[in-house]
Amino acid sequence: MTIKLEKVVPWGRNIDEYISMFDLTSTEKNLTILDCAGGPSSFNYEMTLQGYNIISCDPIYQFTADEIYRRIQEVYQYIVDEVKENYDTFVWQNFQSPEDLGKVRIVAMEKFLQDFSTGVQQKRYLTAELPNLPFEDNKFDLALCSHFLFLYSDQFSVEFHLESILEMCRVAKEVRIFPLLKMSGEISPLVMPIIAKLSTKGYQAEIKQVDYEFQKGGNQMISIQSSVIK
């Protein structure tokens, strides 16, 4: 696993955002959950604090908390400035301003950093990356993937997306991915081809509207399950 930290743009989200992005019910929080490409989100910390069972995986976890913190400091203002420049492409309902967004993100990432060393020791944060996950078949009830697949459709091929989704389907009974937009704000052109390919492999994919929208039009996730009763 060879990623360079200077190529990573860490940007963490909190448990309330995960619940909205993935339409998680109170009952579903009791499931065994994999947060795939979890980055510096506080979701694992906050779920663990509430007594739930979750594992996060990301190649960034090969670095130390101090190294990740330094990278966060390096990119933080750049991201906030980018949001300011593209202000009209976002929905300002949950955040008052780009500065307020930045503060919310910093709080989430600080919680992650405080929990990271302990979480690594407890094997809640594992260094792993798509499309190869170090888990046995059906280990999880639910695998979540936030702001990675589809968002970077210009960087990753349809083959990479399909391999990654099939790998998540291998380790989890259900997979949910959010959002379905590219970075530019357009619906990813890979969504429908992926749904078609998944269908030929025995999976049922459903696009669902969720109660979360920051990128304009980014209020949908995709839920994928096997159409075969196991």
**CATH code for residues 5-226:** 3.40.50.150
pLDDT tens by residue, 142-169? 999 999 999 999 999 999 999 999 999 9
Q: Which residues contact 202 (CB under 8 A, 6 or more apart)?
A: 226, 227, 228
List pLDDT tens digits, range 69-110: 999 999 999 999 999 999 999 999 999 999 999 999 999 999
Q: Give the span between the Cα atoms of 98 and 31, in whole angstroms.
A: 34
Task: For the chain, give every domain's residue range.
Answer: 5-226
